[in-house]
Amino acid sequence: MKITSNLNIFITFLILFPVLGFSQNCSLTISGTIKDLNTGLPLEAVNVYINSTSKGTTTDSRGFFLFSNICKGEYHITISHIGCESKQDFVHLTTDTVLNLTMEHSINTLDGVVITAKSKPKTTQNTKTISKQNITDNANENLSNMLESIIGVSTLKNGSGISKPVVHGLYGNRLTILNNGISQSGQQWGNDHSPEIDPLVANKIKVIKGTSALEYMGSNLGSVILVEPKKIEREPHLHGSANYFFETNGLGNGLNLQLQQYSPTIAWKINATLKKTGDRKTATYYLNNTGNQEANFALQLEKSFSKKFSTDLYFSTFNTELGVLRGSHIGNLTDLEEALVREIPFFTEDEFSYSIDAPKQRVHHHLLKIHSNYFIDDTQWLDFTIAGQLNNRKEFDVRRSGRSDIPALSLQQYSYFFEGKHQKIFENKLKLKSGFQFNITDNTNNPETGILPLIPDYLSYETGVYLLTSKKINKSFFEIGLRYDNVKQNVVAISRTIPREIVRYNNHFHNFSTSGGWIYSVSNDFSFSYNVGYATRNPAINELYSNGLHQGVSGIEEGNIALQTEKSLKTTLGFNANISDKFSFESLIYYQRINDFIYLNPQDEIRLTIRGAFPVFKYEQTNAEIYGIDISGKYQINKSLETKLDYSFIWANDLRNNLPLINFPSNNIRGSIVYEFSKSIAVGKSQLENLTIELNNYYVFKQNNILEDQDFVLPPGGYNLLGVKIATDVQLKKTRLRLTTKVDNVLNVVYRDYLNRQRYFANDLGVNITFGVSLKF
């Protein structure tokens, strides 16, 4: 009996020993305040979660939150709020902890454009940003279509899957796109050549409207688009996200995976995207051979060797195959004339297909960048960047005798870039930035086509230097900049005359740019801005030497070796006002005069070739003026309901010939009404957070600034598109889920867009429903 009693005591001790010996202190607290990053004001009703537990709370009117009875350990805390990017913070809890957190709350994110409230000016340029959340919500779109949500930005399209951004009427060679700080180098001269960038790698996408940013190499006539990945967070655990979408028009699917982890040894992040879409559909018929597929990957590495010196490496590869509408390639003059007036294109079939046949494009783009940063002291630092790009583009035409698998255009481009820059902040808060850049471009036609090349082989050397300075004086902020570029081109072309012979050209250009700007802040709620800039741009290779069928735009393009350097003067006047807590207003007026403006002019000719019948376009020059206004207003009806209205007006004239300029955007109005649920909604054991329902409307006016004989067909009529979006977040135990549903062209409207080159042959897209799921872990 005594033995049994002692045995029971021993077993009881074994059971209780782990609890008694290793019990944790579960009486700790985590508290804190959450404020607006820009205004410093507390944020109320912010959702706060401890991910590995079921604990959650919301902030009060002081922005305060409190968790009690928490055990020692490591925790990830997630905070989310309507109008803000959700954030995650890591806590190693050993004692009571107080957190002071901030969130960047924006005036408006309804259309994906973030306008930061009451932020200090960093530039006199007009800047708009698309947030990470809105990039994810629109994962089915390409970069250009995402940018279209920004007022003043349009898209030049060549069907449903090929598009490029247009800012204040300028695009292509006049628009600079930076992929992680490197000017995108490819065949951007083509109106049917989309930027070879996966927008899902970006944490944010910026558009700088105005006279451009002089520190970037590229054309300074137009605006600048920056695709910016985020630096890796100093977080020791593995984190990431998985995003999936499905869309009904084209039965498109897409998957994006992101993983990242920080370590003192090295921090790393990977991003991978797969997309596949079949034939798109108008309101009444399929657009045959308009599918596309993508496979993209990006790797980011970061290493800090000391507090003063750090290095990062970035590699990305973008790979796509794009179908071109079969009905846009016609074999004879009679059929082409009929195709321009047909309601339904030639070769239209009633069955859906994922097949991509000729005509089509196949593009591969690779980027490798190594960047180092060295702090001399707290007031000045150096940046060094070395980058290389490889662009391979093949375009396939419908060819006879089974030769459609042989490309009709095959271009390969190598680009090498070096940059060194210095930044200094003086005691009087004067900021000075200077830099040196050198770029080599080697562009070659692969001889596999059996066709005379559209553009010649060339080797280009570009050297650039710049100096920028800025200073804040009382309520004013000033900046001024200068830039000089030296461009040398060695061109090897084939003559247009028979017998064919090799013709060599050696071009040398000097480009000068300067800009100045001023912002005056009347108060935290009112500010004015003025910016003026002068820039020159040398003719691009395609503008000088194009000669042949450009398959992607279904037309014959002819260059002009007599073209002169463009000279541009642009001024902008901006106004921002928070009229009250409920109403905000913004406007940007701009005027641009470009002497010797280069443009592609349709000729009164349809040319029959061995490859079919095609309209003819020639590069010509004139003096041009472009002016317009972007107006945006938002009204908060009540705590949950707000409305927004954007209006964009643009007008462009050929001053030398007293004619309108063609291929400029139509005026448009975009409006939206959004209902935001202020409280979470319980669904089973889960909570629907930040639930929003948006009704949006997009009206495009008919392009009336064009004469009947300036194009092959009259501009299409105006159109109105209605859309709906529903989005919500769901906090799971260790992960966060975001669900979105979008419906574009709800009423299945039949329309054609003036800036879509396929408008000559087919209608634009019908209704499309997109479902998206995003999981953060």
Token couple for 527: 């500010």
How is residue 213 written in tokens? 């940013």
Q: Where is 147: in which H helix or E strand?
A: helix 143-147
Query: What mean pLDDT do residues 74-80 have?
Result: 83
How do residues 341-390 score in pLDDT, each as one tens digit?
Answer: 899 999 999 999 999 999 999 999 999 999 999 999 989 999 999 999 99
pLDDT of 83 reads: 66
Q: Does residue 460 register a pLDDT over 50?
A: yes
pLDDT (average), residues 145-165 = 92
DSSP E strand stretches across 397-521: 409-425, 431-445, 457-473, 476-494, 502-521
State if pTM tops 0.85. Answer: yes
> Residue 111: pLDDT above 70?
no
Q: Do 197 and 591 form a contact (C-beta atoms < 8 A)?
A: no
More confident residue, 532 or 79: 532
Distant-in-sequence, close-in-space partners of 553: CB < 8 Å, separation ≥ 6: 158, 190, 191, 192, 757
* Total residue length of the chain: 777
Q: How far is CA 614 from CA 402, 605, 766, in A?
A: 21, 9, 28
Domain edges within the chain: 24-103, 113-776
Q: What's the average model confidence in pLDDT over 417-446?
A: 95
Instruction: Kindly state the tokens that stand for 201.
Output: 């790698």
* Cβ neighbours for 665, distance < 8 A, ≥ 6 positions apart: 154, 166, 169, 648, 650, 754, 755
Give the residue from 690, 714, 713 showing the smallest Cα distance to 702.
714
Q: What DSSP letter does each residue of 757-774 carry, written as one string? A: GGGGT------EEEEEEE
CA distance 59 to 68: 14
Element (H, E) at 543: helix 541-545
Rounded to 10 degrees, what is the CA torsion of 704, 705, 710, 711? -50
Host H or E run for residue 22: helix 2-22
Predicted confidence band of residue 213 (pLDDT cuts 50, 70, 90): confident
With bands split at pLDDT 50, 70 and 90, how would you rate the model's confidence at 115?
very low
* Residue 329 three-state SS: coil
> Higher confidence at residue 1 or residue 451?
451
Give the mean pLDDT of 490-516: 92
How far from chain centre, in Å, is Cα 84? Answer: 19
Taking a C-beta distance cutoff of 8 angstroms, is the pair 388, 371 a contact? no
Using the 8-state DSSP alphabet, how is residue 328 labeled? G
Interstrand relation of 668-676 and 641-654 (parallel, antiparallel or unpaired): antiparallel
Using pLDDT thresholds of 50, 70 and 90, give the confidence band for residue 551. Answer: low
Residue 261 pLDDT: 95
DSSP 308: S
Mean pLDDT of 283-312: 96
* CATH number assigned to the domain with residue range 113-776, chosen from the 4 options 3.40.630.30, 2.40.50.140, 2.40.170.20, 2.70.98.10: 2.40.170.20
Q: What is residue 385's predicted lDDT score, i.e. its pLDDT? A: 98
Average pLDDT over residues 318-327: 94
Nearest-5° Cα angle at 349, 254 to 284: 75
Q: Which of 426-430, 435-439, 622-626 has the lowest mean pLDDT?
A: 426-430
pLDDT at 60: 86
pLDDT at 53: 76
Q: CB of 357 within 8 A of CB of 404?
A: yes
Helix (H) or strand (E) holding 631: strand 612-636
Assess whether pLDDT exceeds 50 at residue 600.
Answer: yes
CA distance 260 to 310: 18
- At position 10, the amino acid (one-letter code) is F
Cα(761)–Cα(289) distance, integer angstroms: 14
pLDDT at 9: 47
* Residues 726-732, mean pLDDT to the nearest whole number: 91
* 114 has a pLDDT exceeding 50: no
Percent of the chain with pLDDT over 70: 93
Nearest to 326 by CA among 354, 351, 358, 353: 358
pLDDT on residue 362 = 97
Task: Assign domain 24-103 to its CATH superfamily.
Answer: Immunoglobulins (2.60.40.10)
Ranking 56-70, 76-90, 580-594, 616-630 by mean pLDDT, the lowest is: 76-90
pLDDT at 16: 45
